[in-house]
Structure 1
Amino acid sequence: MSLSILALALLICLWLVTEPLRAGAPSDPDAPAREGLEAERDRLYTELATLTDERRRPDLERRAALTLRALDALPPAPRPERGGDGRRGRQLALAALGLSALLVGGGAVTFVPRWQLAALPAGEAANVQAVLNLPALRARAERTRTAPDYLAWGRAAFDTSAYDQAVSAYGNTLKLNPRQPEALRRLGILLLTRGEQGGAAPSAGDAAQAALLIRTAAQLAPQEPESQLLLGFALARFGQDEEALRALERYRTLDPQGRDADELISAIRARQTDSDPGLRVYAANCASCHGPAGGGGIGPSLRESVLSRDALRQITVQGKGAMPGFPQIRGQDLEALLDLLEGWQPGRAAAAP
């Protein structure tokens, strides 16, 4: 139903509802306020129905919602109860009720959801809006068959967990633009995880293709946080924990507010600590100053160090500058820690996996 038809139905409905009042209703002390609000509502509906600048729509709809709430807060207007006028009023009210039902049905896909979205948190509102937009985006993409429209459909499908549609949309995007980073990485992660709902692991072919897509996306768009996030997730799935941590830490650098990697980072570090004696010693003595993964914190980054093993040993045991010494670290624990620190050094870290 178009906006113009909805606006016309609203105006007719309003006329039918208010006609008995014009035909001799009792005095209404709230009449001036009611008339002002109704005039504002009608003006906003008309403006929405003829709107050409879509950037103004959210503000107009918000003001329309506030106007309706103010109208709802007024006491009901007195209604005539005399003979023919009463019967006529009831007939008109029934007609208005029918039009209102029609209006509600049309409004369910136009105005009303937008007003409801105004009361939701931003993230939840975006998801609801994506669900509402998904059928139209799919129809548009299938009609135009252009990469931007396929990409818009794929994004809405992915964000609303309509993953079968997302696979189709992103696949068509890549047919038209094989270097589109979002389509590459999201199609890759879908290939890697689509069997999980049925409890099945991805096939070797799907896993290899997924890894290629995700790595390619990260190379094409290394500054996009999602590229590093999905790369880290994929690397962790393949057991490449060190590379995964580097990608996930890069994601955190690019998006300091992002929390999507927290759980996975914690799981990888716990797994490493359990299996690596050097990490156990590091976590107990060094992580509070140099960061959980050696990337720096109160103290400098240990991943940029080029000190020799003997120098590392001396500073660890005796301390240097503001850093205290840790003479209690000795024997196999000290050797394991030095192995870890040497492995983090730039040349060694780059060659490790």
Structure 2
Amino acid sequence: MILGLTLFALVLLAALWLVLQPLRGGMPTDPDAPERHRLTAERDRLYAELSHLTDESRRPDLERRAALILRALDALPAAPPPRERGRRTRAAALAGLAVAALVTVAGAVTFVPRWQLASLGADEVQDVRDVLALPGLRRKAETTGEGAAYLAWGRAAFDSARYAQAVTAYGNALKLDPRQPEALRRLGILLLTRGEQTGQTGAQPTPEDARQAFLLIRTAAQLAPKEPESQLLLGFALARFGQDADALTALERYRTLDPKGRDADDLITSLHARQNESDPGLRVYAANCASCHGPNGGGGLGPNLRVATLSREALENVIVNGKGAMPASPNLKPEELNALLDVLERWQKEGE
């Protein structure tokens, strides 16, 4: 950044020097100008007198005097040509101005945007770049008709919240490849949240739109189960349809596939809170077990409880007395312990 600013300043200074340098000298001076002017005037006077001479006896004297004037003029140093020098000065000044203009334009399209983007976060910078790239990506897609070009256009439009363009781009991509996972799931989520995109908070899709949206998202997850976004959007869609347990499973897969991803955190918290309100066993699990075994029993620091094969009695023994690194929980009330055991047994039956 500092190097860029330094280079920009140096180029600007060079351009200013080019503009001002020709103008500093001004017009060239002629120290012999007064004498040159006097001799020229005398020469012109003698020529005029000779041209209108009526007394021929005076001609030799006038011609002699004119010859002396011409010799005196020839003896003076040559006068600088003011018109030619002026043209050169103007040309140099105009050239300098052109350079300065080019530098300004170059700065406008290179340095200045970087200064503006420097105050933005990484996601905001990417949004700005996506918006700026949209016209070019659209032209390329419409010109080439290639699936990859439509995907690039759709991706930039989706990421910069230009959803109408995203629908068009992804729709064209699906015409070329009906099994394209990214286009399927993103069109599905756009269809499912169409009301929210237009500012209609709380608006619900029609049953047909909801069914079609879920079909698109689920198909994408089946085609690309190891792509984090497939599981993320599947979890979101399942949560919208009230299938909280399945939604949590998909969101946990998303976290496994993208450990640094934070897009599901709020939804997972909300789903657990919703589950805990109606299931006392989940409340006990969230308070005592989730930090090690994961919010949905899928494992973390501790093992995956969904693939365990322990009996109810064995589970109770481990919970109450602890085992290995797992601490004991002897203070659980009987009803809390039974509710927790019900959840663990249910998870073992469901599996992963």
Q: Is the pair's TM-score, using the shorter chain for normalization, greater than 0.5?
A: yes
1:327 aligns with 2:330: yes
CA contact (8 A) 1:229 1:261 kept: yes
Aligned to 2:287: 284
> 191-200 vs 77-86, which deviates more?
77-86
Any idea what the Cα deviations from partners look like across 1:292-317, whole Å, max 9, x if unmatched? 33222333221221112222122222
Does the alignment pair 1:84 with 2:57? no
Contact 1:157 1:163 in 2 (8 A): yes
**Which residue of 2 is the match for residue 235 of structure 1?**
238
**Contact residue 189 and residue 214 of structure 1 kept, 8 A:** yes
State the alpha-carbon separation in 1 of the partners of residues 3 and 207 from structure 2: 55
1:236·1:244 contact (CA, 8 Å) conserved in 2? yes
Return the alpha-carbon distance in structure 2 between the equivalents of residues 321 and 129 of structure 1: 52
What residue is the counterpart of 1:179 in the other structure?
Answer: 179
Matches within 5 A, 1:259-338: 259-338=262-341
Deviation at 1:279? 1.1
Counterparts of 1:104 and 1:170, CA distance in 2:
39
Q: Is the 8 A contact 2:154 2:165 kept in 1?
A: yes
Paired residue type of 1:81:
R
Count matched residues.
288
Deviates more, 1:178-187 or 1:334-343: 334-343
Residue identity in the other structure for 1:264: L
Computed over aligned residues only, the root mean square deviation of the Cα atoms, in angstroms, reads 3.3
CA offset at residue 251 of structure 1? 1.1
Residues 72/92 of structure 1: CA separation in 2 closer, same or farther (3 Å cut): closer
Give per-residue Cα distances to partners, 1:204-236, cap 9 Å, x unaligned: 111111101111111111111111111111111
- Spell out the pairing of 1:190-201 with structure 2 (5 A cutoff): 190-196=190-196, 197-199=199-201, 200-201=203-204
**Which one has a bigger Cα radius of gyration?**
2
SS at match of 2:191: helix
CA distance in 2, matches of 1:336, 1:316: 13
Q: Aligned-pair distance for 1:128? A: 2.2
Amino acid at match of 2:126: A
Q: Would the aligned equivalents of 2:235 and 2:249 in 1 still touch at CA under 8 Å?
A: yes
Contact 2:276/2:283 (8 A) holds in 1: yes
Deviating more after overlay: 245-254 vs 209-218: 245-254
Contact 1:294–1:302 under 8 Å retained in 2: yes
Structure 2, gaps ≥5 residues long: 29-84
76-85 vs 314-323, which deviates more? 76-85
Query: Does the 8 A contact of 1:65 with 1:115 survive in 2?
Result: no
Closer/same/farther in 2, CA of residues 153 and 103 from structure 1, 3 Å limit: farther
Alpha-carbon spacing, 1:87–1:343, altered in 2? closer, same or farther (3 Å): farther
Equivalent in the alignment of 1:223: 226
CA contact 1:137–1:149 (8 Å) conserved in 2: yes
Which amino acid is the alignment partner of residue 227 of structure 2? E
- In the TM superposition, residue 74 of structure 1 has moved relative to its aligned partner by 8.5
Shift of 1:150: 1.3
Counterpart contact for 2:12–2:100, Cα < 8 Å: no
* C-alpha separation in 2, matches of 1:185 and 1:324: 42
TM-score normalized with structure 2 length: 0.71
What's the offset of the Cα at 1:181? Answer: 0.6
> 1:130 — aligned with what?
130
Q: CA deviation at 1:201?
A: 1.2
Shift of 1:237: 1.1
Give the residue type in structure 2 aligned to 1:275: S
* Counterpart for residue 28 of structure 1: none
- State the alpha-carbon separation in 1 of the partners of residues 206 and 320 from structure 2: 49
Distance 1:323 1:100 in 2: 72
The residue number in structure 1 matching 2:8 is 68
Q: Say if 2:15 and 2:96, in contact at 8 Å, map to a contact too.
A: no
CA contact (8 A) 2:307 2:351 kept: no
The question of whether the paired residues in 1 share the 8 Å contact of 2:293 and 2:302 is answered with yes
- In structure 2, the residue matched to 1:348 is 350
Percent of aligned positions that are identical: 59
Instruction: Name the amino acid aligned to 1:83.
Output: G
d(CA) in 1 for partners of 2:129, 2:2: 15
Opposite residue 189 of structure 1, the aligned amino acid is I
Q: Shift of the alpha carbon at 1:172?
A: 1.0
Taking structure 1 as reference, are residues 90 and 251 closer, same or farther at Cα in structure 2, changes over 3 Å only?
farther
Which amino acid is 1:326 matched to?
S
For 1:253-302, what per-residue CA distance to the aligned partner results, in whole angstroms no more than 9, with x for missing partners? Answer: 11111111111111112222222100111122222332333222333221
Question: How much has 1:69 moved relative to structure 2?
Answer: 4.3
Contact 1:274 1:280 in 2 (8 A): yes
Secondary structure of the corresponding residue to residue 266 of structure 1 = helix
Distance 1:69-1:125 versus aligned 2 partners, 3 A rule: farther
Task: Provide the C-alpha distance between the structure 1 equivalents of 2:200 and 2:225, rounded to a whole number of angstroms.
Answer: 32
Larger deviation: 147-156 or 328-337? 328-337
Q: Separation in 1 of the partners of 2:340 and 2:225?
A: 31
